């Protein structure tokens, strides 16, 4: 079988609002992305995923789409998009775009028509609300002027479509065709386990369970992905789709990546695992046992950056662990999704003042939940100026950057072999060289308590999650480390890639001690 490009790809998530601002309005845009494509080629990723850039009132950072075929002037024009795709392809980078099928913006012409009483069956209107809560806090229903209620699993500005209406289904196939015809290599599917709600919209006792829920993961959704898969497969060039699927178990996740459905799904179990070899080992084993093409993700624009998650009280520990986790992630079979700024070791910005926070989660929870702005602070490209090079000089970014971003900027780190950026570049280059030589299968070498040790063919990866140094597994060479070794030992919070001794042949076993 030909190995599809996406199986081992490293995909870099560009949260467009916060990546690079070329127009000078303080918000990132497509022209800014274009200017930085060579940086991403040099970083060594295979593809980029662009978060929504469609016309939007920005009630949820663009995940409230008013026109699925447009480009918001805030982010540029169709010409910018076409040039971005052409330039990315010229640099050998694939391009994924975000599709938001669960809900539209309340400004979408269909919802505006629904408010006037036309075509209401494209959304979910009822005479009375049920007890469902919005993912962003508060009730999932809002009342309109004539007294009826509409469902929104997220903000009120994001009404849920009724996917039982064939018109909705046909419309999304057409939207996919529109972007495929423009040359995109695939899609990231927002809230992919949403779309259908159980008939009758029954009340729920406990909304925290997703497995048996009238809200998520209804069986009907799989037919939609079968249609989408057939469409993607009808285009040349291995177009693909990756689902944002939150589930309670990897078994549930596996349903979305059956051979005739989505190509991949984000593996959030990996980012949810605590800093523990046992927990990591379990996620790895469950993943390779259940999912045909694994993905790994440590951070994205919805979660606390992993440097901070792993950091507990000490930021140094957080960074050491973040780098060790990255090296481990890149050694696993399958593809890896990186989030912009993690290559700089950016921390979560936890002290944003309330008045600058824009996430509806913060607003709707009355400030009880901090929301996701802290991982969305614009990227520092240079160490100077009003935005550390994110925007043209004199322009303030849409979220303020903390002073420590100066020392973490691309300019401050590039060329410094001890920097996080150069570590990422080395790791991605080494992975690129190794990928053709390593089998997909993973083999556990030692079920060694706090130390995770696995091999794929000639590559051995060890991660020390313990509190003391651990002996290095047998090896011929040290290929890469996430931090300095301690003589012949692997210090805590450190990972290493080793070349396996020729005398210890690979067994090629799949899975391992659980
Ligand atoms: C998931 C997206 O990643 C998130 O940012 C958004 O708020 C929700 N879906 C709703 O679209």
476 C-alpha vs ligand 1 centroid, how far in Å? 46
- Mutation pick for ligand 1 pocket among 15, 17, 191 (CB with most ligand atoms within 8 Å): 191
100 C-alpha vs ligand 1 centroid, how far in Å? 8
190 C-alpha vs ligand 1 centroid, how far in Å? 6
Which pLDDT score, from 0 to 100, does residue 181 have? 98
Which pLDDT score, from 0 to 100, does residue 165 have? 98
402 C-alpha vs ligand 1 centroid, how far in Å? 25
Regions of the chain short of the pLDDT cut 70: 1, 447, 504-514
Ligand 1: residue whose CA is nearest its atom 10: 63
Provide the pairing of β-strand 10-14 with 47-50. Answer: parallel
Residue 377 to residue 403: CA distance in whole angstroms: 12
| Pocket-forming residues, ligand 1, beta carbon under 6 Å | 60, 63, 100, 154, 190-191, 244, 301-302
Return left, alpha or beta for 434; rule: phi > 0 is left, psi -120 to 50 is alpha, else beta: alpha
What number does the ligand 1 atom closest to the CA of 103 have? Answer: 11
Which pLDDT score, from 0 to 100, does residue 315 have? 74
User: From residue 252, how far is each of 258, 299, 419 by CA, in Å?
Assistant: 11, 21, 39
Cα-atom radius of gyration of the chain, to the nearest Å?
Answer: 23
Ligand 1: residue whose CA is nearest its atom 4: 302
Return left, alpha or beta for 415; rule: phi > 0 is left, psi -120 to 50 is alpha, else beta: left
What number does the ligand 1 atom closest to the CA of 100 have? Answer: 11
pLDDT in tens, 425-448: 999 999 999 998 999 999 999 767
Ligand 1: residue whose CA is nearest its atom 5: 302
> Is 190 a known active-site residue?
yes
Ligand 1: residue whose CA is nearest its atom 2: 190
Which pLDDT score, from 0 to 100, does residue 447 have? 60
pLDDT in tens, 48-93: 999 999 999 999 999 999 999 999 999 999 999 999 999 999 999 9
Which pLDDT score, from 0 to 100, does residue 514 have? 32
Residue 414 to residue 425: CA distance in whole angstroms: 10
Which pLDDT score, from 0 to 100, does residue 314 have? 78
Helix axes 78-90, 30-43, angle to 10 degrees: 10
> Is 244 a known active-site residue?
yes
Cβ neighbours around 20 below 10 Å, total: 24
- Containing H/E element for 141? strand 141-143
User: From residue 259, how far is each of 256, 296, 329, 458 by CA, in Å?
Assistant: 9, 19, 24, 29
Q: Which of 60, 190, 348, 493 is catalytic?
A: 190
Residue 115 tokens, joined: 């408010």
What number does the ligand 1 atom closest to the CA of 372 have? Answer: 5
Provide the pairing of β-strand 186-189 with 240-243. Answer: parallel
Which pLDDT score, from 0 to 100, does residue 504 have? 65
| CA 308 and chain centroid, separation | 17
From the number of C-beta atoms within 10 Å of its C-beta (0-12, 13-18, 19+), residue 77 rates as middle
The label of the residue with tokens 């929504």 reads 52
Ligand 1: residue whose CA is nearest its atom 6: 63
Ligand 1: residue whose CA is nearest its atom 3: 302
Residue 376 to residue 348: CA distance in whole angstroms: 8
49 C-alpha vs ligand 1 centroid, how far in Å? 14
Which pLDDT score, from 0 to 100, does residue 406 have? 97
243 C-alpha vs ligand 1 centroid, how far in Å? 12
99 C-alpha vs ligand 1 centroid, how far in Å? 11
User: From residue 297, how far is each of 55, 305, 336, 494 by CA, in Å?
Assistant: 28, 11, 6, 19
- Containing H/E element for 179? helix 166-181
15 C-alpha vs ligand 1 centroid, how far in Å? 12
- Mutation pick for ligand 1 pocket among 14, 63, 369 (CB with most ligand atoms within 8 Å): 63
- Mutation pick for ligand 1 pocket among 14, 18, 49, 60 (CB with most ligand atoms within 8 Å): 60
Which pLDDT score, from 0 to 100, does residue 446 have? 77
Q: Which of 244, 302, 348, 493 is catalytic?
A: 244
401 C-alpha vs ligand 1 centroid, how far in Å? 23
CA within 13 Å, CB half, 362? 17
Which pLDDT score, from 0 to 100, does residue 512 have? 37
Q: What does the buried/exposed string (b/e) look like for 185-212 if buried means 16 or more CB atoms within 10 Å of the residue's CB?
A: bbbbbbbbbbbbbeeebeebeebeebee
Q: How far apart are the first and last CA of the chain?
A: 30
Residue 237 to residue 242: CA distance in whole angstroms: 16
Nearest of 256, 189, 271 to residue 226 by alpha carbon = 256
Q: What is the dihedral of CA 24, 25, 29, 31, to 10 degrees?
A: -30
Residue 384 tokens, joined: 């100077």
Dihedral of CA 9/15/16/19: which sign? Answer: negative
- Mutation pick for ligand 1 pocket among 106, 154, 195 (CB with most ligand atoms within 8 Å): 154
Residue 73 tokens, joined: 């002037």
């Amino acid at each position: 079988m030909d190995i599809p490009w996406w199986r081992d790809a490293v995909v870099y998530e560009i949260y467009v609002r916060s990546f690079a601002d070329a127009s000078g309005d303080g918000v990132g845009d497509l022209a800014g992305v274009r200017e930085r494509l060579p940086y991403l080629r040099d970083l060594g990723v295979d593809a980029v995923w662009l978060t929504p850039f469609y016309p939007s009132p920005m009630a949820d950072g663009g995940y409230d789409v008013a026109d699925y075929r447009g480009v918001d002037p805030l982010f540029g024009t169709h010409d910018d998009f076409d040039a971005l795709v052409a330039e990315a392809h010229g640099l050998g980078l694939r391009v994924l775009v975000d599709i938001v099928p669960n809900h539209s913006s309340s400004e979408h012409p269909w919802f505006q028509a629904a408010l006037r009483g036309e075509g209401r069956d494209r959304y979910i209107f009822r005479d009375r609300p049920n007890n469902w809560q919005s993912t962003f806090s508060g009730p999932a229903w809002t009342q309109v002027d004539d007294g009826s209620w509409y469902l929104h699993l997220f903000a009120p500005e994001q009404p849920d479509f009724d996917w039982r209406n064939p018109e909705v289904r046909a419309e999304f196939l057409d939207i996919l065709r529109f972007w495929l015809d423009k040359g995109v290599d695939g899609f990231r599917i927002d809230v992919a386990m949403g779309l259908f709600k159980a008939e009758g919209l029954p009340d729920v006792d406990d909304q925290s369970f997703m497995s048996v829920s009238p809200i998520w993961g209804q069986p009907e959704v799989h037919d939609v992905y079968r249609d989408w898969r057939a469409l993607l497969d009808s285009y040349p060039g291995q177009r693909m789709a990756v689902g944002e699927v939150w589930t309670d178990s990897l078994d549930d996740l596996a349903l979305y990546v059956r051979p005739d459905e989505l190509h991949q799904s984000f593996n959030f179990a990996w980012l949810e695992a605590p800093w523990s070899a046992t927990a990591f080992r379990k996620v790895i084993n469950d993943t390779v046992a259940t999912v045909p093409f694994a993905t790994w993700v440590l951070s994205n624009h919805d979660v606390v950056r992993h440097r901070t998650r792993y950091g507990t009280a000490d930021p140094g520990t957080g960074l050491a662990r973040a780098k060790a986790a990255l090296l481990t992630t890149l050694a696993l079979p399958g593809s890896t999704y990186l989030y912009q700024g993690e290559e700089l070791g950016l921390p979560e910005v936890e002290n944003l003042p309330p008045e600058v926070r824009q996430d509806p989660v913060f607003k709707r929870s009355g400030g009880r939940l901090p929301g996701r702005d802290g991982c969305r602070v614009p990227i520092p490209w240079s160490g100077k100026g009003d935005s550390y090079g994110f925007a043209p000089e004199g322009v303030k970014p849409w979220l303020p950057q903390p002073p420590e971003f100066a020392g973490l900027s691309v300019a401050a780190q590039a060329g410094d072999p001890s920097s996080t950026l150069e570590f990422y570049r080395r790791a991605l280059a080494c992975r690129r060289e190794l990928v053709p030589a390593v089998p997909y299968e993973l083999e556990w070498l030692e079920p060694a308590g706090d130390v995770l040790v696995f091999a794929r063919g000639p590559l051995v990866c060890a991660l020390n999650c313990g509190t003391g140094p651990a002996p290095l597994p047998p090896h011929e060479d040290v290929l890469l480390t996430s931090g300095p070794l301690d003589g012949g030992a692997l210090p805590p919070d450190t990972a290493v890639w080793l070349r396996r001794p020729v005398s210890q042949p690979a067994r090629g076993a799949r899975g391992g001690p659980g």
